[in-house]
Chain A
């Protein structure tokens, strides 16, 4: 009859434990006392974490005489005079005293009530009629300041923030007016921290932005934050220095941090386009160097790592992998075996040159794709030529735009045949075509 029997599964799921303590619970699992096995199985087949009834109480001697009576009762939480009936436990002929036991849970918010004179004197507002204000307060009373419900029920369409603003302004005005002196109520929450509509609207908008952010934006924001954190750390290292050195370092870092911080605050509101202007590589190099000097002692390999990170910071993950693959193909160690100053410098330069090379490769691809669009006559239909595609001689900056353009193009597969057509056509014939 047991489901597990039918399935042929082993009954006890507990492995036999080493301690003796587990024995009694194991026993009760097989043979529950007091209730039938099927009923026990309804509770999940296992003893509950907390006993609902104190088992010892059941064994105690009951000296009192307990009877049950069907009696009427009233609920002080009700406004009407409803009489209902329920079973009452009578002990030795004595009725229990006190109010209905659930009446105490009837909590509500105390909404202020203003008089007409008070309204005329303190609460008039060009945006709100008296009727609307009265209706608002009535709803607040009914729904215990649940503004979402109130907004829903409100006759004219008002946003939650508007309603809140009106309610809190009225409350504030009344509290101030009724107070004997302004000092008395200075600690009242409405006085101390008044409701700020614009801030609230902004906050909720930002929240919804964060909530609806795609994973890609999350990743990008993370990268920005990591970059900013690294810059801040480098800044920390430089703060330990002497005066003259401090000036150099913080100037460089401040520039970089300034660019990073607006990037961070922009990104929640600017979901469409990657916001932050990439700090120029030269500045980043300088700040890394400055921070290395602040360390007073460091390992050459550490310095190389930092510089490699800097040059990688402007490139995407895929590009970095391609750089590393290229290094391997060229027979160069990813981490130099003999990292002397000269070797490290050469290694870095090589990495930069590879980046330039990869960017040029991409550029060639785009140029060719553009070329095919000219020929197809679809030139007018090209998806927005990305504005940041100006050919900047600085290869690292181009790496950014090249990288990002690549990503955008990949998304817009539907727009015209342009990118896909470029891939289908054999490229080698290009020069001979003309």
Chain B
């Protein structure tokens, strides 16, 4: 059924779930074949990403102004190469840093620095021209110190904060779609039948590109796992409970209304 759309694709290497089909207000029926212009309606492209920071305490080598070495980054949720969508990323650091506006032109989109303070970093994602001409902003509060104040800081174990999110392109262009059709970093819904796309045009010289995925990144051992399965289960269980309460109350109400009717008819002359 066309409506199942992207829920299946979002499994991220998990077995397919047979939870309730979300009454999705997003990607509507893909039977719409109106492909006016270069944009496709009702086809939504989403790119799952993870962004955050990893911070190592420098221990003996720490100085007053450089107590930690940290890296802020944006990576694909399954460590795929985001360069297919993102052209460059700009990290806006605290003004006390030299050249606080740091531009990263190629994946992996990460930035390492040394410092002592925690502050908010504005991350701006610039996409390739056929993807989207508008940049997207993310904000991340750099965390250096462990949550638990009592735990001793170690130089071996870093503080890791990662957040999962998805970049959504509600009306992608055909060119974009063609280019990313089978790319692992991108999640596509089921495409309308009989859709013909123009041949993909690569945005950059493939030979120039260095390895953009983060699967073998030196920091990858600290990356967290984000699986929607747990959350879906949790939500399904919660919904069941609530639905049970609702049915119970509805029964109670109709019971009371019945009683009222009796009372009223007896009180009326």
Of the candidates A293, A345, A430, A434, the one whose C-beta lies within 8 Å of that of B22 is A345
Contact check, A350 vs B167: say whether CB atoms are below 8 A apart: no
Contact check, A337 vs B231: say whether CB atoms are below 8 A apart: yes
> Assuming A300-B167, A349-B239, what are 19 further A-B pairs, CB within 8 angstroms?
A285-B25, A295-B170, A296-B134, A298-B136, A300-B168, A332-B234, A333-B234, A336-B231, A338-B231, A339-B165, A340-B166, A340-B228, A345-B26, A353-B246, A364-B249, A364-B252, A367-B256, A367-B260, A371-B259
Say yes or no: is B267 at the interface (Cβ < 8 Å to chain A): yes
> Top 6 A-B pairs ranked by shortest CB distance?
A345-B22, A300-B166, A360-B249, A330-B238, A346-B235, A374-B263
Type the 1/0 row for A315-342, where 1 means its CB is closer than 8 Å to any CB of B: 0000000000011001111001111111
Contact check, A345 vs B134: say whether CB atoms are below 8 A apart: no
Contact check, A338 vs B253: say whether CB atoms are below 8 A apart: no
Contact check, B238 vs A332: say whether CB atoms are below 8 A apart: yes
B121 to chain A, nearest CB (A): 16
Contact check, B228 vs A289: say whether CB atoms are below 8 A apart: no
List residues 415-434 of chain A with CB under 8 A from any CB of chain B.
430-431, 434
Contact check, B231 vs A357: say whether CB atoms are below 8 A apart: no
Of the candidates A342, A353, A377, the one whose C-beta lies within 8 Å of that of B232 is A342
Residue among A285, A289, A296, A363 with max Cβ neighbours from chain B (10 Å): A296
**Interface extent on A, as a size class?**
35 or more
Contact check, B238 vs A350: say whether CB atoms are below 8 A apart: yes
Say yes or no: is A101 at the interface (Cβ < 8 Å to chain B): no
CB neighbours of B10 from chain A (8 A): 340-342
Say yes or no: is A354 at the interface (Cβ < 8 Å to chain B): yes
List 8 contacting pairs A-B, 8 Å CB cutoff, sorted by A: A293-B171, A296-B170, A297-B127, A330-B241, A333-B234, A336-B231, A349-B22, A357-B249
Say yes or no: is B23 at the interface (Cβ < 8 Å to chain A): yes
Type the 1/0 row for A348-385, where 1 means its CB is closer than 8 Å to any CB of B: 01100110110011011001101100110101000000
Of the candidates A331, A370, A434, the one whose C-beta lies within 8 Å of that of B262 is A434
Contact of A353 with B166 at beta-carbon distance under 8 Å, contacts A299-B136, A336-B231, A337-B226 already known: no
Contact check, A357 vs B235: say whether CB atoms are below 8 A apart: no
Contact check, A341 vs B169: say whether CB atoms are below 8 A apart: no
- Complex Cα distance, B169 from A331, in Å, reads 31
For residue B85, which residue of chain A has the nearest CB?
A297
Say yes or no: is A19 at the interface (Cβ < 8 Å to chain B): no
Contact of A289 with B249 at beta-carbon distance under 8 Å, contacts A342-B19, A346-B235 already known: no
Say yes or no: is A117 at the interface (Cβ < 8 Å to chain B): no
List residues 1-59 of chain B with CB under 8 A from any CB of chain A.
6-7, 10, 12, 17, 19-20, 22-26, 36-37, 46, 48
Say yes or no: is A301 at the interface (Cβ < 8 Å to chain B): yes
CB neighbours of B197 from chain A (8 A): none
Contact check, A338 vs B228: say whether CB atoms are below 8 A apart: yes
Q: Is the interface of A mostly helix, strand, loop or mixed?
A: helix
- Complex Cα distance, B19 from A293, in Å, reads 27
For residue B4, which residue of chain A has the nearest CB?
A342
Contact check, B25 vs A307: say whether CB atoms are below 8 A apart: yes
CB neighbours of B262 from chain A (8 A): 434
For residue A285, which residue of chain B has the nearest CB?
B25
Say yes or no: is A185 at the interface (Cβ < 8 Å to chain B): no
- Complex Cα distance, B127 from A333, in Å, reads 31
**Chain B residues bordering chain A, tally (CB within 8 A):** 60
CB neighbours of B24 from chain A (8 A): 341, 345
For residue B248, which residue of chain A has the nearest CB?
A360
- Complex Cα distance, B234 from A46, in Å, reads 70
Contact of A379 with B22 at beta-carbon distance under 8 Å, contacts A353-B239, A356-B246 already known: no
- Complex Cα distance, B227 from A370, in Å, reads 49
- Complex Cα distance, B259 from A343, in Å, reads 42
Contact check, B168 vs A244: say whether CB atoms are below 8 A apart: no
Of the candidates A331, A374, A377, the one whose C-beta lies within 8 Å of that of B260 is A374
Say yes or no: is B164 at the interface (Cβ < 8 Å to chain A): yes
Say yes or no: is B132 at the interface (Cβ < 8 Å to chain A): yes
Contact of A371 with B127 at beta-carbon distance under 8 Å, contacts A300-B165, A341-B24, A342-B10 already known: no
Say yes or no: is A209 at the interface (Cβ < 8 Å to chain B): no
CB neighbours of A370 from chain B (8 A): 260
Contact check, B25 vs A341: say whether CB atoms are below 8 A apart: no
Contact of A367 with B22 at beta-carbon distance under 8 Å, contacts A293-B171, A303-B168, A374-B260 already known: no
Contact check, A434 vs B168: say whether CB atoms are below 8 A apart: no
A234 to chain B, nearest CB (A): 14
CB neighbours of A354 from chain B (8 A): 242
Of the candidates A297, A336, A347, the one whose C-beta lies within 8 Å of that of B136 is A297
List residues 212-269 of chain B with CB under 8 A from any CB of chain A.
226-228, 230-232, 234-239, 241-243, 245-246, 249-250, 252-253, 255-257, 259-260, 262-264, 267
Contact of A341 with B242 at beta-carbon distance under 8 Å, contacts A296-B132, A346-B20, A371-B263 already known: no
For residue B45, which residue of chain A has the nearest CB?
A297
A422 to chain B, nearest CB (A): 12
CB neighbours of A379 from chain B (8 A): 267
Residue among A285, A299, A307 with max Cβ neighbours from chain B (10 Å): A299
Contact check, B26 vs A338: say whether CB atoms are below 8 A apart: no
B247 to chain A, nearest CB (A): 10
Say yes or no: is B101 at the interface (Cβ < 8 Å to chain A): no
CB neighbours of B257 from chain A (8 A): 367
Say yes or no: is B203 at the interface (Cβ < 8 Å to chain A): no
Say yes or no: is B138 at the interface (Cβ < 8 Å to chain A): yes
Say yes or no: is A394 at the interface (Cβ < 8 Å to chain B): no
Contact check, B22 vs A292: say whether CB atoms are below 8 A apart: no
For residue A433, which residue of chain B has the nearest CB?
B259
CB neighbours of B132 from chain A (8 A): 296-297
- Complex Cα distance, B166 from A184, in Å, reads 70
Contact of A296 with B26 at beta-carbon distance under 8 Å, contacts A342-B232, A379-B267 already known: no
Of the candidates B171, B239, B246, the one whose C-beta lies within 8 Å of that of A346 is B239
Contact check, A346 vs B236: say whether CB atoms are below 8 A apart: yes
Of the candidates B46, B239, B243, B256, the one whose C-beta lies within 8 Å of that of A430 is B256
Contact of A342 with B243 at beta-carbon distance under 8 Å, contacts A297-B127, A364-B249 already known: no
